[in-house]
């Protein structure tokens, strides 16, 4: 049965991990997968998470199934984290959600829901977008098209071109936006630009689908959700995939939220029954542990404050690395203008170098980044910054 299957190349992001691990150079640098690292290059478990786990170990009384939607407590606190407590959509009883295995689980479940509502619907994604968006949405049966977003020549957002393309998109189509910390380019929409897009969605009738994988990594928990919340006030229907991988550091626990805002309560109940059936026919129900940690943190004022302080520390470290990288590249006279890296947000930026240069960095310097030259900034530190900047200058 399987003899005729051909081998596929490794995943463009996850494949880098294996090559990095196999590299014996002690000076190797991993700027591949988007995982936060501290100054020592370690991805530590957050203290707030450790504390919540300790409490859970004492208080958990059963391992019985939690059902396709996950726990009501998790869903409630996450809806409020994402939308802000008291958001009109919440007060109007129009929001339904499910706890999912990571943001990927959320994207896939929502894609299946869209496909049930309109088979083969078109989803517009930014060019570029996260490499896994295309298989996650496309394999659910959706048709993928792209809108211009980032201009590699100027290392900046091309909003006019984005609007030019999206102005022809109407009812029945879905447009995927990155809430903040755009993956892979780090260039985010301004508040003014979100206002323009929210008006377009309202007038033209397309359905916004917002992926929020990095809430708290850009400016703050609230600021990073600005566009999402505005959009949710402007349109009758909207989809949100949220991830707790990065902001809670719960990567391997797989915790996410698939949330839908419906036009009214009746549509919400029908839609939720479809989403739960899609989940049941897919992975049946989500794992419990990671979401229980999130619920425990967000329902305890002390733990929540500790978590927010740790999140702020991660964000500030990345921002200072961004500044350090720009200064470091200037200091070694690297050919080119890299000031844009300082303005961008979140874990990623494109360095803006060619594939050959990316490959040379890997071969000659054991520096690992995605072929597109996307770097995961947190992989840098004061220990490897100069080595990295000199290596980049040498391949330019």
Active site residues: 130, 211, 246
Shortest Å, Cβ 216 to ligand LMR: 15
The reply to whether 183 sits near ligand LMR by the rule CB under 6 A is yes
Shortest Å, Cβ 64 to ligand LMR: 30
The reply to whether 352 sits near ligand LMR by the rule CB under 6 A is no
| 15/67 with CB nearer ligand LMR | 15
Shortest Å, Cβ 241 to ligand LMR: 12
| 115/183 with CB nearer ligand LMR | 183
* CB count in 10 Å sphere of residue 208: 24
Which of residues 19, 71, 76, 132 is near ligand LMR by CB under 6 A? Answer: 132
Q: With left for phi above 0 and alpha for psi between -120 and 50, is residue 30 left, alpha or beta? A: beta
- The DSSP annotation for 336-394 comes to S--THHHH--SSEEE----HHHHHHHHHHH-EE--TT-EEEGGG--TTTHHHHHHHHHH
Contacts to ligand LMR from residues 185-224, by CB under 6 A: none
The reply to whether 126 sits near ligand LMR by the rule CB under 6 A is no
The reply to whether 100 sits near ligand LMR by the rule CB under 6 A is no
* CB count in 10 Å sphere of residue 282: 16
| 34/218 with CB nearer ligand LMR | 34
The reply to whether 19 sits near ligand LMR by the rule CB under 6 A is no
Rounded to whole angstroms, what are the CA distances from 50 to 12, 193, 221, 250, 277? Answer: 32, 39, 21, 11, 34
Closest residue (Cβ) to ligand LMR?
34
Shortest Å, Cβ 374 to ligand LMR: 8
Q: What residue has token string 């299946």?
A: 112
Residues near 70 by beta carbon (within 8 Å), at least 6 away in sequence: 98, 99, 100, 285, 286, 288, 291
Give the binding-site size for ligand LMR (rule: CB under 6 A).
6
With b meaning 16 or more CB within 10 Å and e meaning fewer, what string describes 212-223?
bbbbbbbbbbee
The reply to whether 34 sits near ligand LMR by the rule CB under 6 A is yes
The reply to whether 286 sits near ligand LMR by the rule CB under 6 A is no
Residues 177, 180: Cα–Cα separation, whole Å: 9
The reply to whether 350 sits near ligand LMR by the rule CB under 6 A is no
Question: What are the residues binding ligand LMR (CB under 6 A)?
Answer: 13, 33-34, 130, 132, 183
């Amino acid at each position: 049965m399987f003899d005729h299957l051909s081998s596929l190349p490794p995943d463009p992001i996850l494949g880098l991990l294996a090559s990095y691990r196999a590299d014996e150079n002690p000076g190797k640098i991993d700027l591949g997968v988007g995982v936060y690292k501290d100054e020592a290059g370690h991805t530590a478990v957050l203290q707030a998470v450790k504390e919540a786990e300790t409490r859970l170990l004492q208080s958990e009384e059963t391992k019985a199934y939690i059902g396709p939607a996950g726990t009501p407590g998790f869903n409630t606190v996450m809806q409020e984290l994402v939308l802000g407590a008291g958001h009109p959509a919440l007060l109007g009883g129009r929001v339904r959600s499910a706890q999912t295995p990571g943001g990927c689980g959320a994207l896939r479940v929502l894609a299946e829901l869209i496909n049930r509502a309109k088979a083969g619907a078109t989803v517009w994604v930014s060019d570029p977008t996260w490499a896994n968006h295309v298989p996650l949405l496309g394999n659910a049966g959706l048709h993928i098209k792209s809108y211009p977003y980032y201009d590699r020549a100027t290392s900046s957002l091309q909003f006019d071109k984005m609007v030019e393309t999206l102005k022809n998109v109407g009812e029945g189509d879905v447009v995927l936006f990155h809430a903040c910390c755009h993956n892979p380019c780090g260039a985010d929409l301004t508040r003014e630009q979100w206002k323009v897009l929210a008006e377009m969605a309202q007038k033209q009738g397309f359905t916004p689908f917002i992926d929020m994988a990095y809430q708290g990594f850009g400016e703050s928990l609230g600021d990073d959700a600005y566009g999402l919340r505005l959009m949710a006030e402007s349109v009758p229907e909207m989809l949100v995939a949220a991830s707790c991988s990065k902001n809670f550091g719960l990567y391997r626990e797989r915790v996410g939220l698939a949330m839908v805002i419906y036009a009214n309560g009746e549509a919400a109940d029908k839609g939720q029954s479809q989403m739960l059936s899609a989940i049941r026919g897919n992975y049946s129900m989500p794992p419990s542990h990671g979401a229980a940690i999130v619920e425990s943190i967000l329902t305890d004022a002390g733990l929540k404050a500790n978590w927010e302080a740790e999140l702020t520390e991660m964000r500030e470290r990345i921002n200072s690395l961004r500044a350090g990288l720009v200064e470091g590249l200037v200091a070694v006279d690297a050919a080119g203008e890299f000031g844009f890296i300082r303005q961008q947000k979140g874990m990623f930026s494109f360095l803006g170098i060619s594939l050959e240069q990316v490959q040379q960095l890997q071969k000659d310097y054991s520096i690992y980044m995605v072929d597109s030259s996307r770097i995961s900034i947190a992989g840098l530190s004061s220990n490897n910054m100069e080595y990295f900047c000199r290596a980049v200058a040498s391949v330019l």
